[in-house]
């Protein structure tokens, strides 16, 4: 996780401090006049001022400064043991970001199960004040935004996938894989060969829209820092395996589902959201061809894939 101290900040537009990912708007409001700072420059292309304002699906986020709730009586359901913890109470979720470097939580967020609304309580540690000027490190970035989008998508025919994504002449291809499978490597090869447009080297959104299944780039980049605000119709899935040669093997729907569920963001502790994401995954593998792609980590992999898709 990138620390807040070392990354170059990006200010959100003050007239519309929102982030839009996968045609979902994360609309941010605050009762006080503050300047929001994004800790990661990969969000720049996803800010409200950079793209059209026609998103139908929204997550409404309200910031409250200074007031921190007590979570001691809530049921803990997930703990990263490093920075954040998730709690449940009366049908709502609470998440507390508490890095070891701070004596108190950096922020605490409360959101409904469908992630349509979220309230974020920001501590003094996240704020800096100058004369007549208040700045706030935007809490609605990693990890909070990913949790919100995971739930929001679960109820709206969508999901987040650990995968590189490429728009190849209007065909959206995703390359799922766990850490070390070669997602960033393959995305870098496409970029260097100047074939297609890489959408992401780490995580994409797949969702059903009015025009069918689409793959979207996200700001949650990998080691190559590829985070393009783009989309393409989903046309194929290629599960990665680095090798000393290039080979392509078609997978059955059952084989594809087994592999896909290993790389989809799923809240296994939430029965309803989990079931919805699994059901959506099943619909994906029944419609989209899936393959195992053994690839060599050089330009020959891109040439091989393009030639295979041209047959």
Residue with tokens 């700045």: 135
- CA distance readout (Å), 3 to 83, 131, 218: 11, 26, 19
The pLDDT-based confidence of 254 (bands split at 50, 70, 90) is: very high
Helix (H, G, I), strand (E, B) or coil at 112: strand
Provide the pLDDT for residue 100. 79
Name the strand (E) or helix (H) holding 252.
Answer: none
Output DSSP code: residue 271: H
The pLDDT-based confidence of 131 (bands split at 50, 70, 90) is: very low
Rounded to 10 degrees, the C-alpha dihedral 191/196/202/205 comes to: 160
Q: What share of the chain in percent tops pLDDT 70?
A: 89
Provide the pLDDT for residue 129. 53
CA–CA dist 214, 171 (Å, integer): 10
Task: Please give the distance of CA 98 from its chain centroid, rounded to a whole number.
Answer: 21
Q: Which residues contact 218 (CB under 8 A, 6 or more apart)?
A: 21, 22, 46, 160, 200, 203, 204, 205, 227
Digit-coded pLDDT (tens) for 114-126: 999 999 999 876 6
CA–CA dist 248, 1 (Å, integer): 34
Please check the confidence at residue 32 and state whether its pLDDT lies above 70.
yes
Q: Which residues contact 270 (CB under 8 A, 6 or more apart)?
A: 113
Phi, psi of 71 (to 5 degrees): -105, 10
Poorest-pLDDT segment among 21-35, 153-167, 280-294: 21-35
Structure tokens at 182: 């070669």
Name the strand (E) or helix (H) holding 212.
Answer: strand 212-216
Cα diameter, the chain: 65
Prediction pTM value: 0.90
CA–CA dist 151, 265 (Å, integer): 10
For the chain, the structural domain boundaries read 10-153, 157-310
Please check the confidence at residue 94 and state whether its pLDDT lies above 80.
yes
The pLDDT-based confidence of 137 (bands split at 50, 70, 90) is: confident
Provide the pLDDT for residue 189. 95
The pLDDT-based confidence of 54 (bands split at 50, 70, 90) is: low
What is the average pLDDT score of the chain? 88
| Residue 157 exposed, middle or buried by CB count within 10 Å (0-12, 13-18, 19+) | middle
Report the candidate in 45, 40, 49 with the shortest Cα–Cα distance to residue 10: 40
Structure tokens at 249: 């093997």
Rounded to 10 degrees, the C-alpha dihedral 55/59/62/67 comes to: -160
């Amino acid at each position: 996780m990138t620390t807040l101290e070392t990354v170059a900040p990006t200010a959100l537009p003050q007239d519309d401090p929102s982030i839009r990912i996968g045609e979902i708007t994360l609309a941010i409001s605050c009762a006080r006049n503050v300047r929001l700072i994004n800790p990661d420059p990969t969000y720049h292309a996803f800010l409200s001022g950079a793209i059209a304002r026609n998103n139908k699906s929204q997550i409404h986020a309200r910031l409250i400064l200074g007031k921190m709730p007590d979570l001691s009586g809530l049921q803990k359901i997930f703990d990263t043991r490093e920075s954040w913890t998730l709690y449940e109470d009366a049908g709502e979720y609470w998440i507390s970001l508490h890095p070891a470097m701070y004596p108190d939580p950096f922020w605490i967020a409360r959101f409904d199960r469908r992630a349509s609304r979220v309230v974020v309580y920001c501590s003094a540690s996240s704020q800096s004040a100058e004369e007549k000027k208040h700045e706030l490190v935007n809490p609605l970035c990693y990890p909070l935004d990913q949790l919100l989008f995971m739930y929001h998508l679960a109820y709206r025919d969508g999901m987040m996938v650990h995968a590189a994504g490429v728009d190849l002449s209007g065909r959206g291809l995703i390359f799922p894989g766990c850490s070390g499978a070669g997602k960033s490597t393959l995305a870098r090869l496409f970029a260097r060969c100047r074939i297609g447009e890489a959408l992401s080297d780490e995580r994409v959104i797949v969702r059903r829209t009015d025009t069918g299944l689409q793959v979207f780039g996200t700001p949650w980049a990998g080691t190559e820092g590829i985070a393009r605000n783009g989309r393409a119709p989903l046309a194929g899935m290629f599960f990665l395996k680095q090798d000393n040669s290039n080979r392509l093997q078609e997978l059955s729907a059952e084989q594809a589902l087994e592999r896909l569920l290993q790389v989809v963001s799923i809240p296994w502790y939430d029965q309803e959201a989990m079931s919805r994401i699994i059901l959506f995954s099943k619909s994906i593998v029944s419609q989209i061809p899936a393959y195992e792609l053994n690839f060599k980590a050089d330009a020959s992999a891109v040439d091989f894939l393009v030639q295979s898709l041209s047959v």
